[in-house]
Structure formats: structure tokens, C-alpha cells
Amino acid sequence: MNRDLQDTKSSAILTALTEARRGSGNAALGMVLTLIIDVNENEHYDALHAANSAAREHPCRIVTVIRRPGKSAPRLDAEIRVGQENLLGEVIVLRLYGLLRDQADSIVLPMLLPDAPVLVWWPGQGPLIPSRDQLGMLAQRRVTDAAASSSPTASLRQRAQEHSPGDTDFAWTRITPWRTLLAAALDQPFDEIIGGEVSAVRGNASAELLAAWLENRLGIDVIRKSTRGPGITGVRLLTRRGEITLARPDGRLATLIRTDQPNRAVPLPRRGTEELLAEELRRLDPDDVYNETIQCIFGNKPDSKPSSKPTAGRREPTAAVQAGRAKEAAPAKKAAPAAPAKKVTAARKVAPEKRVAPVKSVVPAKKAASGARSKT
């Protein structure tokens, strides 16, 4: 059953939803989570399609938030889909106009399922600091996709700086099959591993994560090699007497090569959005291993000496960033905001717009750093 509501509000949407559910005769009370999709009009069809497939494994309420461009009066339009074929949960599509674009959290809040976990997914560019995003603050789990941004590795690095538990990125989800095969390879007896190499198309965020994971887990240096793709094309682990290599030149079929053993072929196709989302929905607690890995990318590896470059931004944050932090940490951190209360409120107001700028300016420096690294 489909219902369109124009110029409406949250309570009316919820009433309509209950009626629609009754009308279609299914009491969809088995829903296990709320999935918020923050997306633009162009991408919403594909995102919703993927979410519907993922909902077969995890029945959920899907709340899609679309902010409409243009200068119009504040208005909220909603679409409700319940009890259709191939649809196990419920779908609410919200379109926000004018000033309401900045009030998404207040509209979505009443629509969260009681007690159930909340996951927010940005199929597109997404916020730089997911945990401080309006919608991100409603959720336990925040899923971004670095590959959807113009510069994947840069945005991964930026998010790594402000990472908070519960954030994950599709760049990480994409390499689960790689990690699975590599871990399985080391379930068998192996020689001491002395080095490694990850080859991928230039600027691939997943390759960056895979290399960081291997460095962190194996305590080796991993060389990043750029190839023509598609995606990641191979991982090589050098051992004392040979190598363990997983090569995937065509993006479909991989070969596991171990010294003194026959080559073994294994399918390793690139994963679709549905599959990625379904995997994310499977874990609703923070991913500790991802947290560790992403800290390594940022250079906070426990064993590495503190390099001044990456942390510089942290030690001397610009005024706007500091204001943004003060907002969060105000009650706890009494010493820091020495400025009068008035000033802080003033800064707070401008923070949302200005916050973005200084962080972005870090990009070129970072890029240079990563370039230098891969040359070594």
C-alpha cells in the first residue's frame, strides 16, 4: 500500500503509517532496527532499492530523508510504503523543503522504532564528521561511503581524524572477502611474514584500509602499488622462504598462490551495494577492528612515533573547529572554553557552516603525505 502525504508533519505520518499497516493486514512488529538513509533525489531510487533487498535479511523501518534544493517555503512531503510485495519492512520517504532542510532530526526522531537500534547511511558524499551530523547523532551506527566522494582516500583520512566508535565505511565492508581469504590462508601453517604489498587502482580507499589492516595485524610494512584496476588487484605477503599471494586482475576471479603449492582459483567478485548494506546491518555495535585500523591510517599506530604533521591540526584547531568541539565537550571540559558564555553561543551558531572549511584545507597536505608514503 502506498500513501502520499503533502505538507504534513511527523505525527500525521505516523498515524498514516499505522493505518496503512492495518489496511494491508500485516502487523510488521518484527522489525529489528531503523535505517535512516540521508540521500539526494538522484540517488534515492538506487539506495532504496538496495535497502529493500537488505531488509529481507533484517526487517526494518527505512526512513529516507531527501532535502529538496531551491528556495521554497518550509514544507514536508511524505510517501509511505507498507505491505507491498518484496517489501518486508516499512518505507517512509521524506522530502524536506526550505528551512525544514535543517530540521531533519526533529522530523525523524518520532519515527525511530522504540528500543531498536538506529543506523544511518549516507550513500553519497556524506558529512565529514558523521558522529556530529544532525542525523548521525540519532544513530548508534553511521555508515559512509568514501568511494562516493570525489577523493576517496582523502575523505577516508579526514573521517579517520574525527572517527568515533560506531562509524564505518563501505570501503571497509568491500574488503571483507579479501580479509576473509587472507585470514583463511593464514589458518594454514605459514612461515614468518616479513613484508607485504597491496596493489590497486590509484586512490582506492579500500586498498588503503587493507594495507593498514595488514600492517597493524602483522607488524610489517606494506607497500602500496598502483595498478590499472579494477579496484584492488592483489595482495602479496612475503615470507622468509616464499610468498602468499592473492591476485585478482579482472575484478572477478582470484588466484591464491603459495610457494610450493598448486595455485588455487577462487571467485572474488566485487560486491554490490545490497550486499554491503546487509553486512553493515548485521553488526550494530562498534567495529573495534575497524576502529584500530582507521587509527593506523591516521598515523596513531601505537608503536609508531608521534609524527608532528598529522597531529598538528589536532593540537591547534582553528577557532571554528574549537567552537564545534566546545559545544560537545562543554560540561566536561571546564578549562578550555575560557571565553565568555556569550561568545561561545555566537560561535556555535556559525559553526555548522564554517566547520567544514578548515578541515577541508587539510586535504592537500594529507594527500602529499600519502603520496610520499607510497613511494617508499
Partner 1 sequence: MSPVAFEANNPLRDPRDRRLPRVAGPCGVVLFGVTGDLARKKLMPAIYDLANRGLLPPGFALVGFARRDWADEDFAKVVHDAVKQYARTPFREEVWTQLAEGFRFVPGDFDDNDAFDTLARTITDLDRVRGTGGNHAFYLSIPPKLFPVVVGQLKRSGLSARNGDQWRRVVVEKPFGHDLKSARQLSDTLNDVFPPDSVFRIDHYLGKETVQNILALRFANTLFEPIWNRSYVDHVQITMAEDIGIGGRAGYYDGIGAARDVIQNHLLQLLALITMEEPVNFEAQSLRLEKTKVLSAVRIPADLAAYTARGQYAAGWQGGEKVLGYLDEDGIPKTSKTETYAAIKLEVDTRRWAGVPFYLRAGKRLGRRVTEVALMFQRAPHLPFAATATEELGQNALVIRIQPDEGVTLRFGSKVPGTAMEVRDVNMDFAYGESFTESSPEAYERLILDVLLGDPPLFPRHEEVELSWEILDPIENHWARSPQPEPYRSGGWGPDSATAMLARDGRVWRRP
The answer to whether 296 touches 212, Cβ cutoff 8 Å, is yes
Least distance from partner 1 to the Cβ atom of residue 154, Å? 25
**What gap in Å lies between CA 73 and CA 100, rounded to an integer?**
9
Beta carbon nearer to partner 1, 33 or 39: 33
Least distance from partner 1 to the Cβ atom of residue 49, Å? 16
Least distance from partner 1 to the Cβ atom of residue 187, Å? 5
Taken as a whole, the chain contains a residue count of 376
Phi-psi bin for 203: left (phi > 0), alpha (psi -120 to 50), beta? left
Name the CA radius of gyration of the chain, rounded: 23
Beta carbon nearer to partner 1, 89 or 152: 89
> Which residues of 131-181 form beta strands (DSSP E)?
141-144, 167-169
Beta carbon nearer to partner 1, 129 or 256: 256
Beta carbon nearer to partner 1, 56 or 228: 56
Least distance from partner 1 to the Cβ atom of residue 197, Å? 16
Q: What are 149's three cell numbers?
A: 566522494
Least distance from partner 1 to the Cβ atom of residue 191, Å? 13
Q: Which amino acid is at 4?
A: D
Least distance from partner 1 to the Cβ atom of residue 341, Å? 42
Beta carbon nearer to partner 1, 100 or 246: 246
Beta carbon nearer to partner 1, 87 or 344: 87
Residues 167, 172, 173: CA angle, nearest 5 degrees: 100
Q: What are 105's three cell numbers?
A: 532530526
Beta carbon nearer to partner 1, 262 or 331: 262
Least distance from partner 1 to the Cβ atom of residue 271, Å? 10
Beta carbon nearer to partner 1, 25 or 340: 25
| Binding stretches for partner 1 (CB under 8 A) | 27, 29-30, 56-59, 88, 173, 176-177, 179-184, 186-189, 214, 217-219, 252-256, 261-269, 278-279, 283, 287-289
Least distance from partner 1 to the Cβ atom of residue 63, Å? 18
Of the candidates 220, 194, 226, 193, the one whose C-alpha atom is nearest the C-alpha of residue 207 is 226
Beta carbon nearer to partner 1, 284 or 330: 284
Least distance from partner 1 to the Cβ atom of residue 283, Å? 7
User: In the Cβ-directed half-sphere of 245, how many Cα atoms lie within 13 Å?
Assistant: 18
> Which residues of the chain form beta strands (DSSP E)?
2-5, 33-39, 60-67, 75-82, 90-97, 118-121, 141-144, 167-169, 193-201, 222-227, 232-239, 243-247, 253-258, 264-267
- Environment class of residue 40 by beta-carbon count within 10 Å: exposed (0-12), middle (13-18) or buried (19+)? middle
The answer to whether 24 touches 50, Cβ cutoff 8 Å, is no
- Environment class of residue 131 by beta-carbon count within 10 Å: exposed (0-12), middle (13-18) or buried (19+)? middle
